[in-house]
């Protein structure tokens, strides 16, 4: 239990007038006076407390100091609670205004005076500063660049451009962010970013499915029937591929690892290239070939449209 305040000892309110205090004191002093209560230590103690309380409250200056918390109920100086050491100490963070600068973050410190962490800002530092706006661009790149990656220049005006690094395997519609390449900041604020939306031009013969490349490869009748080694374009340049004899249109061959190479979180992955054969006759008006086929067809009737419910090559439908 905390000690009683002198007001409580005298049984008066803290707002009591000097007169009320005097009356309360006289009443209590009479009641607990040692001479009137011989052999009663409790009464004596009470009398002393009352006297001490009255001593303090009857003196306007002491009472005011007590009210301000400068002295305690016995009249002793109370250590003054200066706010500063508390405010500057560890506990002071509690009263940190919201959104206040955090010096632990140097960018925050620099931005406090409107600089982007580099020199500059200078005189403008007194005023207002803000980061520059983001700028939006679109850039069309060719299929092979999209697949293999590379540098591509984006012209902004005749004498202004951005060199954009295209990562391998970039997707249609992907947006590249070039930090600090947008609009300039005001008053030393940092520049905005350039946001570049990528469009990939279609390729005459390559097609992409994820990291795999698909290509349709025309082969001659002889190559299909007899087999051959033929050059095949890939996104990284031509390679030689073996076509097995007896291949037909629609046969699919795989060139392992000839798709899109990329590094994903440190690991390298690569897709494949799928080559679909398409037999082209080429010399279809060659009399020699026609002559050969006339004899050959007679001996080798085939039904290529059987699955469509049609008859023989020279069927009744004709």
List 20, 36, 69, 177, residue binding another protein (CB under 8 A): 69
CB of 25 to another protein, least distance (A): 17
Q: Are 8 and 2 in contact (CB under 8 A)?
A: no
List 26, 27, 31, 92, residue binding another protein (CB under 8 A): 92
Q: Does 83 bind another protein (CB under 8 A)?
A: yes
List 94, 229, 256, 298, residue binding another protein (CB under 8 A): 94
CB of 113 to another protein, least distance (A): 12
CB of 129 to another protein, least distance (A): 17
- Closest CB to another protein among 104 and 309? 104
Q: Does 87 bind another protein (CB under 8 A)?
A: yes
Q: Does 67 bind another protein (CB under 8 A)?
A: yes
Q: Does 66 bind another protein (CB under 8 A)?
A: yes
CB of 22 to another protein, least distance (A): 18
Q: Which of 212, 225, 60, 51 is nearest to 147 (CA)?
A: 212
Query: Per-residue string for binding with another protein, 268-307, x by CB under 8 A?
Result: ----------------------------------------
CB of 47 to another protein, least distance (A): 22
Per-residue exposure over 176-196, b if at least 16 CB sit within 10 Å of its own CB, e if not: bebeebbeebebbbbbbbbbb
Could you give the CA distance from residue 145 to residue 119 in angstroms, rounded to a whole number?
A: 38
- Using CB atoms within 10 A of its CB, is residue 39 exposed (0-12), middle (13-18) or buried (19+)? exposed
Q: Does 93 bind another protein (CB under 8 A)?
A: yes
Could you give the CA distance from residue 252 to residue 256 in angstroms, rounded to a whole number?
A: 13
Query: Per-residue string for binding with another protein, 22-61, x by CB under 8 A?
Result: ----------------------------------------
- Closest CB to another protein among 61 and 88? 88
Phi and psi at 32, nearest 5°, equal -105, 10
- For residue 87 the two structure tokens come to 């405010």
* Span interacting with another protein, options 30-38, 66-74, 174-182, 304-312, rule CB under 8 A: 66-74
CB of 24 to another protein, least distance (A): 15
List 19, 38, 76, 96, residue binding another protein (CB under 8 A): 96
Q: Does 95 bind another protein (CB under 8 A)?
A: yes
CA geometry: angle 16, 22, 27, nearest 5 deg: 110
- For residue 150 the two structure tokens come to 């590379």
Q: Which of 289, 301, 291, 296 is nearest to 314 (CA)?
A: 301
Q: Does 126 bind another protein (CB under 8 A)?
A: no
- Closest CB to another protein among 87 and 283? 87
Tell me how many residues contact another protein (CB under 8 A).
31
CB of 1 to another protein, least distance (A): 10
Close Cβ partners of 313 (under 8 Å, ≥ 6 residues apart): 297, 301, 302, 303, 304
- Using CB atoms within 10 A of its CB, is residue 129 exposed (0-12), middle (13-18) or buried (19+)? buried
- Angle (deg, nearest 10), helices 41-57 and 60-67: 90
- For residue 215 the two structure tokens come to 């290509």
Q: Name the residues that contact another protein, by CB under 8 A.
A: 2, 5, 7, 14, 66-69, 80-84, 86-89, 91-97, 100-104, 109, 122
């Amino acid at each position: 239990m905390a000690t009683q305040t002198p007001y409580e000892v005298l049984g008066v309110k803290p707002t009591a007038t000097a007169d009320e205090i005097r009356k309360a004191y006289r009443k209590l002093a009479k009641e607990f006076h040692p001479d009137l209560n011989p052999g009663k230590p409790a009464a004596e103690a009470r009398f002393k407390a009352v006297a001490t309380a009255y001593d303090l409250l009857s003196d306007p200056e002491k009472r005011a100091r007590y009210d301000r918390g400068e002295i305690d109920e016995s009249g002793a100086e109370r250590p003054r609670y200066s706010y500063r050491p508390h405010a500057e100490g560890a506990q002071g963070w509690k009263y940190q205004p919201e959104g206040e600068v955090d010096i632990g973050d140097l960018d925050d410190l620099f931005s406090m005076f409107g600089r982007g962490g580099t020199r500059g800002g200078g005189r403008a530092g007194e005023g207002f500063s803000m980061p520059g706006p983001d700028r939006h661009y679109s850039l069309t790149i060719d299929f092979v660049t999209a697949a293999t990656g590379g540098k591509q220049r984006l012209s902004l005006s005749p004498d202004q451009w951005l060199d954009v690094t295209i990562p391998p395997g970039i997707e249609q519609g992907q947006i590249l962010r070039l930090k600090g390449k947008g609009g300039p900041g005001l008053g030393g604020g940092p520049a905005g970013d350039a946001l570049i939306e990528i469009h990939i031009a279609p390729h005459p013969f390559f097609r992409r499915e994820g990291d795999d490349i698909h290509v349709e490869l025309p082969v001659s009748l002889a190559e299909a029937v007899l087999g051959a080694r033929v050059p095949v374009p890939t996104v990284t340049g031509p390679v030689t591929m073996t076509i097995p004899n007896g291949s037909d249109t629609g046969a699919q061959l795989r060139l392992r690892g000839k798709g899109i190479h990329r590094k994903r979180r440190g690991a390298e992955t690569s897709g494949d290239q799928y080559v679909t054969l398409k037999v082209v006759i080429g010399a279809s008006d060659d009399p020699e070939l026609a002559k050969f086929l006339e004899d050959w067809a007679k001996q080798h009737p085939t039904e290529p449209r059987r699955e469509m419910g049609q008859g023989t090559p020279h069927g009744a439908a004709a």
